[in-house]
Amino acid sequence: MGALWGIGFQKDDKGGYILDANGFPISEVEQKVLGDPNPDWRSGLGLNVEYKNFKLYALFEHSQGGDIVDATEAVLLDYGVSKATGNEITAPANLKTASGATIMAGTKFRGNIGNFGGGDVALDQSWYTGLGGFFGNVLEPFVTSATWTRLREVTISYRIGKKYLPKFTGLSSVNFELSGRNLWLNSKLKPIDPDSNVEGSGSGRGIVYFNNPGTRSYLFTIKLNF
């Protein structure tokens, strides 16, 4: 259910960007479908291993396919506080900017070097506060793969049997358990959890916009069995 809807860049019949005189893409006017937030499939793999008094349980999960919009990064680029805007680059050649200015070879500037198909250009403030940031209203560059793999949970336990316990306690066994959740995540979307959603359980899926970060938890448990 639902689709990622927004403004993209103009493209030719072969799918390449239509560029302006400075070598930068031109935005479309009408909104269109930019992606599908629904995964192609999801799976889980559980592991239970027992050896003598030790037990190990692990749960891996994978979500394949689907798209997600990193609107957080889009806004940070516009504000100039994204990590990507903190680079200091020396122009290897004369580079055009989105505003039409030219950065001469050997000149240092803050930003990055990009190429949209017409040669290298300077991605400086004029780009990120324009079409290269979200307040330029072009959402397409911030649509990325929502595929992820994670280690959802791991539990390691050890049981001490009755014969090793003092008789006066009346205990039949004691179990020590150490558990962790969300210990590892592999995703193109960093550092936000791609399984999170700005609208919670609502239908507006596939949108990251200053979501709360995912939590990682640890739990140590002692079970006294009588």
What pLDDT digit, counting tens, does each position of 55-65 carry? Answer: 999 999 999 99
The per-residue pLDDT for 1 is 61
Share of the chain above pLDDT 90, in %: 77
The per-residue pLDDT for 206 is 87
The per-residue pLDDT for 159 is 92
Within 10 angstroms of residue 78's Cβ, the number of other Cβ atoms is: 19
Residue 84 has φ and ψ, to the nearest 5°, of -65, -25
pLDDT digits over 109-139, tens only? 999 999 999 999 999 999 999 999 999 999 9
The per-residue pLDDT for 189 is 84
Specify which residues 59 forms β-bridges with.
Answer: 46, 153
* Distance from C-alpha of 120 to C-alpha of 45, rounded to nearest angstrom: 45
* Distance from C-alpha of 144 to C-alpha of 167, rounded to nearest angstrom: 61
Q: Which amino acid is at 61?
A: E
* Distance from C-alpha of 68 to C-alpha of 70, rounded to nearest angstrom: 6
Ranges under pLDDT 50 in the chain: none
The per-residue pLDDT for 56 is 97
Q: Are 82 and 133 spatial neighbours (Cβ–Cβ below 8 Å)?
A: no
Residue 52, helix vs strand vs coil:
coil
Element at 160 (helix H, strand E): strand 148-161
Q: Are 204 and 198 spatial neighbours (Cβ–Cβ below 8 Å)?
A: yes
